[in-house]
Structure 1
Amino acid sequence: MYNEDKPLIVTIDDDPIILNTILSILKPYYRVCPFDSGETALKFLTSSPADLILLDCNMPGMSGFEVMDSVKNNILISEIPILFLTGKEDHNSEILALEKGAADYLRKPIEPEVLLTRVRQQLELQRYRKHLEALVEKKRKT
């Protein structure tokens, strides 16, 4: 069973090998929900907002960019950081992902220590941001 104290990471990739690799790397430290399509992941996210999304760029059906646009356009989940994963060496995709609001961009094959470090950094930044927002809101009310 999931430990509710652990951050929830949603992984979206059409490659089951990649999903299993990510799961094996992150599961000791985080709750991980893998999805093989953007459509099913978006349905899940609207009822169970995650702390972080790992998203493949190129997938059949909805592309990673389309999934990111849907996340960013949904007020309930728009603040979830997105880390793009890709096997492509396409710098234009990297620039586009970052311009559209991706928090980071990682290349496949996945290096376990790099993935863990980037995930940890993004979750820490998200915690700091939420803490600062709470402080500002508290200050505003006084």
Structure 2
Amino acid sequence: MNTIHRSTVLIVDDTPDNITLISGLLKDKYNTKVATSGATALQIVASSKVDLILLDIMMPDVDGFETCRRLKADPSSAAIPVVFLTAKSLQEDEAMGRSVGAVDFLRKPVNPDQLFSRVAVHLK
């Protein structure tokens, strides 16, 4: 029996349409999990294996920066690559994201080709 290991991508966004779009794009190649808040994302990561996190920055309660900070502070999740998904395009936002541990940024609206290539690169 030939089972191909599929990486698991956690999509964290407070906008259901964004989750639907991105999980729809990724579902053929990857297992996807979704969270609509940073707190839920942290619970999912604590209880299951996740290989990559696509994380929205602007969310209520716990924003993407704080979620990333918490992920990187926990030894069990510190090695998971975090790619921020954001409509923000300022250098300061990118600098802030990198300072809390993000490996990459994808701008919204998401370009499918960019999404596929960035996800593939960070899962290698």
**TM bin (shorter chain):** over 0.9
Q: Runs of 4+ in structure 1 displaced over 3 angstroms? A: none
Corresponding residue number in structure 2 for 1:14: 14
CA offset at residue 90 of structure 1?
2.0
Corresponding residue number in structure 2 for 1:24: 24
CA offset at residue 98 of structure 1?
1.3
Distance 1:91 1:72, change over 3 A: same
Decide whether the 8 Å contact of 2:9 with 2:32 is kept in 1. yes
Corresponding residue number in structure 2 for 1:49: 49
Q: Aligned partners of 2:105 and 2:32: how far apart in 1?
A: 19
Question: Aligned pairs, how many?
Answer: 122
Decide whether the 8 Å contact of 2:69 with 2:101 is kept in 1. no
Aligned identity (percent) is 37
Q: Name structure 1 gaps, 5 residues minimum.
A: 125-142
Secondary structure, aligned partner of 2:25 = helix
Decide whether the 8 Å contact of 1:37 with 1:62 is kept in 2. yes
Corresponding residue number in structure 1 for 2:119: 119
Q: Aligned partners of 1:4 and 1:87: how far apart in 2?
A: 34
Secondary structure, aligned partner of 2:105 = strand
Corresponding residue number in structure 2 for 1:40: 40
Corresponding residue number in structure 2 for 1:137: none
Larger Rg over CA atoms: 1
More divergent stretch after superposition (22-31 vs 86-95) = 86-95
Decide whether the 8 Å contact of 1:72 with 1:79 is kept in 2. yes
Q: Aligned partners of 1:4 and 1:71: how far apart in 2?
A: 27
Whichever structure has more helix as a proportion of its residues is: 1
CA RMSD across the alignment: 1.2
TM-score by length of 1: 0.82
Q: Name structure 2 gaps, 5 residues minimum.
A: none
For 1:32, give the aligned amino acid. T
